[in-house]
Amino acid sequence: MTSTAAIKYDEKGLVPVIIQDVRDSVILMMAYMNAQSLNETITTGYTHFWSRSRGKFWKKGETSGHVQEVKEILIDCDADTVLIKVIQHGPGACHTGHRSCFYRNISGVETAEKVFSEEDVYGKKHDGK
């Protein structure tokens, strides 16, 4: 039986996590969790992550209100990647104003429209990089 104890974290204590919309299977984002943020996610039923750039925990939607309600947590065959299926509350998951963080093709061309104004939500525009 697999449990959170079976998860293989990297040398920094992190595991990549893919967030997928449970309703239509769209991949919304990818982020990192450590044991504490995964436990907080399981305990609260809402996604929590470890921000590598800010060096701190964060709850998805703490600023925007666009929280992710956890419906299922899966671990891959090697136990080194987590997939969390969620109900995305609010119009989108990406800080750039898009529904998904995967809104550009390999050439950099946007393939999806924005669903909210990041300036209105965060008070500043993000360049998506």
**What is the DSSP code string of 22-35?**
TTT--EEEEEEE-H
Q: Is 80 annotated as a binding residue?
A: yes
Q: Is 10 annotated as a binding residue?
A: no
39/73 Cα distance (integer angstroms): 12
Q: Is 101 annotated as a binding residue?
A: yes
Residue for token pair 């998860």? 7
User: Hey, what long-range contacts does 23-26 have (CB within 8 A, 24 or more apart)?
Assistant: 23/87, 26/99, 26/100
20/26 Cα distance (integer angstroms): 6
Q: Is 76 annotated as a binding residue?
A: yes
Q: Is 127 annotated as a binding residue?
A: no
Phi, then psi, of 86 in degrees rounded to 5 = -135, 165
Task: Cite the annotated binding site for Mg(2+) by residue number.
Answer: 76, 78, 80
Task: Cite the annotated binding site by residue number.
Answer: 76-78, 80, 94, 101
Task: Cite the annotated binding site for Zn(2+) by residue number.
Answer: 77, 94, 101
